[in-house]
Chains A and B, each alone.
Chain A
Amino acid sequence: MKPTRYLFLTFAILSGCAVIKPNPTQRIGFEAPEAYPEGIAYDSVNSAYYVSSARLGNIGKVSVNGVYSTLHMDTTLKSSYGMKIHPDGKRLFVCISDANYSKYTSPATRKKMARLISIDLATGRRLSDTDLSGLLPGKHFANDLTFDAQGNAYITDSFAHAIYKVTADGKASVFAKDKSFETEGVGLNGIVYHPAGFLVVDNSNTGQLYKIDIANPLSVRKIKTDQFFLGADGLLLQDANTLVMVVNGGTDKIYKLETEDNWTSARLAATTLIADRFTYPATATRKMNEIWVMNARFSELPDSNSVPSKNFDIQKAVFKPIPKPKK
C-alpha cells in the first residue's frame, strides 16, 4: 500500500476514534408535539424555517431560536412532506399525501391521496390545491418537489414511480415515468432542478440517482456512482457540480456528491459522521452558505414502545471531505 494511503487510513482511523463519542453538530431544537417533520425550507427574508409534519399534516414555522408556531393546519391534509419556497419568495409549496405515519389516516386516503398545495407565507392561507392522484392508476405518495427556471413544479411520486409537472398556472401532467424508477416500497424521493436543463432525482429503495432532460423527459439515465444510497431522501443542489443528499434508512448521514462530467457520473466527496447522530434526517435546506437538515425521527414510529416525541431538531451538516482515490 502506498505511504500516502497508509497516512490517510491512519488519519481516518484516528479521527474516527477521536470523534467516536457522540458529538452532534449545532442544533436548533423546537417543541412541536407529535409532528415528525419531514420537509424543511429556510426563508432568508423572514429568517425562519418552515417544517412539515408526517403525523399531523400541518406546516410550522421555526425561528432561528427554536420557537415553533403553526403556519397552516388542516387535519384533512393527513401528512405533509417535502416543501419548497417558490422563486417569488411569497409562497410555500408543499407535498400532501397519506403515505405512512398520519395520525388521521383513513382507508379513503391511505396511499391514494397526492396533492400539491401552496401557502401564502404572510397569512398562512392556502392559495392553491392541485390533485395529482388522477394522473396515474395505483398507489400514490407525493413526496418532494423542485422548481425550474420558468416556475414549473416537478413532484416525485414514490409509489407511482413517476415525476409530475405542475405549470405556473396550475396544470398537472405526468412528466417522466421510467421502468428504472420501479421498486417495492418508497421509490423516487428527493429532486432538484439543474440550471443546465435537467432534473436529478434519487430513489430510496433502488439507492440510485437519475438524470432526466427537461426538454426530453424520455431520456432517463442512471448517474454512475461507486456505491448505492439506500434510504436516499432530500436533495439540494449546492452548485452546478455539487449535490447534497440526505440519507436515512439505517445510514443517517448527509453526503456531498461531486461531478466532473455534468452528472453522467458522480463520486462521494464529503460526508457527515456517525458521531453527529443525525436522527433519521429527511431533507436539507440552505441558509447562506450553511446546510441545515430536518431530523424527522421516523425510526421511532414503527417502534411500538415509544411515546410520541415532543421535541425535534434542525441540525447543521458539517462535512468531512473524502480524498479522491488514486486511479
Chain B
Amino acid sequence: MNNKCLSFTLALYLGSITSVYAQRGLPPREKTKSVSITNYAQALDFLPEMVNLLKVPEGWEVKIAASGLGKPRMLYNGPNGSIYITRRDAGDVLMLKDPDMDGKFADLVTVLSDFKGVHGITMKDNWLYLANNHEVRRYPVNTDGRLGAMQLLINDLPDGGQHPNRTIGFGPDGMLYISVGSECNDCKESDKELATMLQVDPKTWKRTIFASGLRNTIGFDFHPQTGELWGIDNGGDAKGSNWPPEEVNHITKGGHYGWPYAYGKREVDQSREDPAGEIKEEVVKNTMPSVLELTAHMAPIAFTFFGNAGNIPSAYAGDGLVAWHGSWNAKKPVGFKVQRIKFENGQAVGTEDFLTGFLKGNARFGRPAGIVVNPKGIVYVSDDANGVIYAIKRKN
C-alpha cells in the first residue's frame, strides 16, 4: 500500500472509532501570550464616617441605611418599603423594615436560614422566589413579611463550579428567567444548561434554554418601555489586564453570546481550541455581539432598570444601574462602584458614574453587589464586604 492509501485508510479507521459525543476540536495554529496579573484591592475596616467619601451625581445624596449586616448580597423590594436581602455565605434571607420612614432600617429579622448559597431573589403574586446553585424554591409571604412553607420548584440546575450565583426574574411575558453561569473560566462545558439564560414556564416549571454563550450574567432586567431583556456579562480571566471587556447585552431568544470563543463585538479568544469540526471564526460569525463593551474585570453583579419608581428624573427613565464588584486581576484595581447605564430609544448607549469612592488607592472600604430601586425612588445598594446598605436618593 502506498502512503496516501495508508493515511486514507488510517483516517477512515480512526474516524469510525471516534465516539459520537464529547467531540474535541482541533488545536489552534495561533500562539498567544498574555500576562496575567492579580491585584486584589485590600480590605479597609469600615467606619460610618466613610460615607462622606462617597460621590453621587449632582442632585442626589447618599446615606447609610443599615450596617453591621455581615455579607449582604442580592436585594429585593418587600411590602411597605421593606427590603429582603439574600446572604449566600450565611445561607439566609433577611428582612429589613423602616417603620418610622426616616431612611434608616430599624427592624431586622432573618426570615429564612439553612438555604446554603442562596443568591437569586424575586417576588410575584405574594410568593418569594429564591435560588441557589441547584434549586429554585418559593415561599408564600405572610402579612408581616415572614415566610410560610417552602415549595420546591426546581432541584436539578447544573453544578455551579466557578459561577454558582444564580439570579432569577420574571419577564413581562410571565415566564421566569434564570441566569446560570459557567462552571469554568473558558472551557467547553459538558452540561448544555451552563453559561445560559434559562426560561421557565410557571405553569409547569419546565425549562428551556433561552440564550447561551453567557459566561456569568448575574445582573439582568427587563426594559420598562420595550420589555426587552438586558444583562451584563462577566468576561473571562487570565487573558491580560485590559481584555476581554465586560459586556452589556441585549439578550434575545435563541441568541449565542460568544463565550467561550468570543467576547465583545465578536472578538475571538485565540487561546481557545477550535470547536469540533469547525473553526472559531466561523462559529463566532453567528454569535451576538455585545451592545456596549466596558472596562475589563470590573465584575458586574446586580443590574436593574429604574423602572417606574417615583421621584426619578425623567432623564433617567429607561436607564439602568449596574454594581461593579471590583477587580482582582486588573493591573490597577477597577470597578468598586455603581454606574448608570444610559439608554436611548431602548438601546444602551453609554455609562456614567452613579456611586463612587469605595476605592482608595489600592484599598477599598466596600464592594457594591446588590441594587434595588424602591417604589419611592430610593436606590439601595448592598456592600457585601463590609456589610452596609447604602441609600441613594434625590435631594429634597
Contact = CB atoms under 8 A, between A and B. Distances in A.
Interface string A271-306: 101100000000000000000000000000010000
Contacts of B44: 13, 16-17, 20, 274
A185 B68 contact: no
Contacts of B26: none
Contacts of B43: 20, 274
B348 interface: no
A9 B53 contact: yes
A207 B92 CA distance: 13
A186 B113 CA distance: 9
B114 A250 contact: no
Given A20-B42, A185-B113, A251 B363 contact: no
A231 interface: yes
A250 B109 contact: no
B1 to A, nearest CB: 55
Interface residues of B, number: 35
B349 interface: no
Nearest to A248: B70
Given A20-B42, A184-B111, A228 B69 contact: yes
B110 A250 contact: no
Interface string B342-358: 00000000000000000
B70 A227 contact: no
Contact of B48 (A184, A186, A226, A302): A226
B279 interface: no
Contacts of B116: 302
B47 interface: yes
B68 A5 contact: no
A1 interface: yes
A184 B113 contact: yes
B360 A13 contact: yes
Contacts of A322: 47
Interface in B36-87: 42-45, 47-50, 52-53, 66-71, 87
Given A5-B49, A184-B112, A250-B387, A228 B66 contact: yes
A228 B108 contact: yes
A207 B363 CA distance: 27
Nearest to A15: B45
Interface in A1-24: 1, 5, 8-9, 12-13, 16-17, 20
B273 interface: no
Interface in B271-324: none
Point out which of B108, B361, B363 has the most chain A C-beta atoms below 10 A from its C-beta.
Answer: B108
Interface string A111-133: 00000000000000000000000
Interface string A7-43: 0110011001100100000000000000000000000
B89 interface: yes
Given A9-B53, A251-B387, A325-B49, A205 B110 contact: yes
Interface string B107-126: 01111111010000000000
A235 B25 CA distance: 61
A273 B87 CA distance: 22
A263 interface: no
Contacts of A184: 92, 109-113
Contact of A273 (B45, B69, B94, B361): B45
Contacts of A9: 47, 49-50, 52-53
A128 to B, nearest CB: 32
B153 interface: no
A159 to B, nearest CB: 11
Contacts of A227: 48, 66-68
Given A12-B45, A207-B108, A229-B68, 9 more contacts: A5-B52, A8-B49, A9-B53, A183-B110, A184-B109, A184-B112, A185-B110, A228-B68, A274-B45
Interface of B: 42-45, 47-50, 52-53, 66-71, 87, 89-92, 94, 108-114, 116, 360-361, 363, 365, 387
21 contacts: A5-B52, A8-B49, A9-B47, A12-B45, A12-B47, A13-B44, A16-B45, A20-B44, A20-B363, A184-B92, A185-B92, A185-B114, A208-B108, A226-B67, A227-B66, A227-B68, A228-B69, A230-B70, A231-B70, A250-B89, A274-B45
